[in-house]
Amino acid sequence: MSVFSKRLKEARTTAGLSQERLGIESGIGPASASARMNQYENDKHTPNSLTVIQIATALNLPAAYFHSVDDDEARLLVLFYRLDAPRKKRVLALAVELHGTHNAFYKD
C-alpha cells in the first residue's frame, strides 16, 4: 500500500466519511465517487495533483500530508495547517530559533 493510499484511508475514516461522501465532497460525481475513492485507497489508481488538493480541502488537510513518508512530519503538517496565521508565525519563529539559523536551507 502506498503512503498516499494509507493516509487517505486513515484521514477519511478519522473524519467519519464514507468513500462516496468524500468523493462527492471532493468534486467527484455521485455516480463514480465511491468507486474512485476505493481505487485510490486500494492503490489501483493515483489521483492527479488537482484531485489530491480537492480531497485534502474536503478533509481540512494539507495536500503534503498525503505524501509525507514520516508519520511525525505528517502530524506536524496537519497541526501547522490548522493554525491561524499569527500562530503559524510563532511556530516558524520557534523552529528557526531551535534550528539556530535563519537560512531555511541550512545543512547540518
Q: How many domains does the chain have?
A: 1
- Is residue 104 a part of any domain in this protein? no
In the predicted structure, residue 102 carries a pLDDT above the cut 90: no
The answer on pLDDT for 33 being more than 80 is: yes
Q: Is the pLDDT of residue 97 over 80?
A: yes
Asked if the structure places residue 59 within a domain, the reply is: yes
Q: The pTM is what?
A: 0.87
> Kind and range of the H or E element at 95?
helix 85-99
Q: Is residue 70 part of a domain?
A: yes
Helix (H, G, I), strand (E, B) or coil at 56: helix
pLDDT class of 46 with cuts at 50, 70, 90:
very high
- Fill in the amino acid letter for 99: H
Residue 59's domain comprises: 3-99
* pLDDT in the model for residue 96: 86
CATH at 37:
1.10.260.40
Residue 55 pLDDT greater than 70, yes or no? yes
